[in-house]
Amino acid sequence: MSNLIKFKIDGVECMTERGKFIVEAALENGIFIPTLCNMPGVKPKGSCRICTVKINGRLMTSCTTPVADGMEIESNSAEINELRKSIVELLFVSGNHFCPACEKSGNCELQALGYYYQMMVPRYPYEFPLREVDASSPHIIKDQNRCILCKRCIKTIKDEEGKSFFAFHDRGHRLEVVLDKEMGSQMSEALAEEAMKNCPVGSILKKEKGFNQAIGSRKFDKKAIGSDVKL
């Protein structure tokens, strides 16, 4: 039996190997589906919901759903794009995201998606929550104002024994990603660097370092997110 399967995204015939998640398979076929919490090679969790697509009338996250033979996927439709834009706006109003003052501006995936979906002003009222900045670790700053709770740091930043540096704390609207005090105090520079890199927004910053690239010349300053993906 061939390991290749056929499927369609917005009517476009695609092909991939069995077992791939939709978001990867789409990328292989030159179709961009936005993601925030997903990272290639890391077990997906489907928590930001931005990669939601419609399959058989049901909303599914494309980072967690494997492609099936003959699957027909709706992604770049008015309904789905509106939903994704809503999610971007929800993330903006539920935190304190002040792009011009953020070290990550231009490299921030949330900001890039704001531009991608042409968000002018969120339709939802800003919540302006009171959030803390944890600078207790010698190498990183964890700014809760900007955290979108994507779990990327929780999943990827571990010590040699597999112990976590980051974890969720509390639940619901009070949910936070917190840094282990003990582990944080022993975090290596290399891991701190990786944590900052893996954060899609500016919630994890490396201390004692400005930036290599000036604002205006960063990743998404030059090209819109997803624009390097071509059919």
Task: Decide: is 69 part of the binding site for another protein (CB under 8 A).
Answer: no
Three-class secondary structure of residue 26 per DSSP: helix
Segment 2 to 31, residues that bind another protein, using CB under 8 A: none
Torsion, CA 6, CA 67, CA 27, CA 201, rounded to 10: 170
Q: Which two tokens stand for residue 169?
A: 């704390």
Q: What's the CA gap between 55 and 200, in Å, rounded?
A: 27
Among positions 146-175, residues that touch another protein (CB under 8 A) are 148-149, 161, 163-175
Strand pairing report for 58-61 and 52-55: antiparallel
Judged by CB under 8 A, the residue of 10, 74, 134, 180 near another protein is: 180
179 binds another protein, rule: CB under 8 A: yes
Among 6, 40, 69, 123, the residue binding another protein under the rule CB under 8 A is 123
> What is residue 148's three-state secondary structure?
coil
To the nearest whole angstrom, how small is the minimum distance from the Cβ of residue 75 to another protein?
A: 13
Q: Binding segment for another protein among 82-90, 197-205, 210-218, 221-229 (CB under 8 A)?
A: 82-90
Does 83 participate in binding another protein (rule CB under 8 A)? yes
Should residue 77 be labelled a site residue for another protein when binding is judged by CB under 8 A? no
Query: 113: which residues sit within 8 A by CB, 6+ positions away?
Result: 34, 36, 50, 84, 88, 225
Question: Minimal distance in Å, beta carbon 230 to another protein?
Answer: 27
210 near another protein, judged by CB under 8 A: no
Phi (first) and psi of residue 4, to 5 degrees: -90, 135
Cβ nearer to another protein, comparing 119 with 215: 119
Point out which residues pair with 14 in neighbouring strands.
Answer: 7
Interactions with another protein, residue window 87-116 (CB under 8 A): 87, 90-91, 93-94
Separation between Cα atoms, residue 118 and residue 115, nearest integer Å:
5
Q: Is 230 in the site for another protein (CB under 8 A)?
A: no
71 near another protein, rule: CB under 8 A: no
Q: Is 203 exposed, middle or buried (0-12, 13-18, 19+ CB in 10 A)?
A: buried
Q: What is the DSSP letter of 133?
A: E
CB-wise, 27 or 63, nearer to another protein?
Answer: 63
Give the binding site for another protein (CB under 8 A): 44-50, 52, 59, 61, 64-66, 83, 86-87, 90-91, 93-94, 123-125, 127, 148-149, 161, 163-175, 178-183
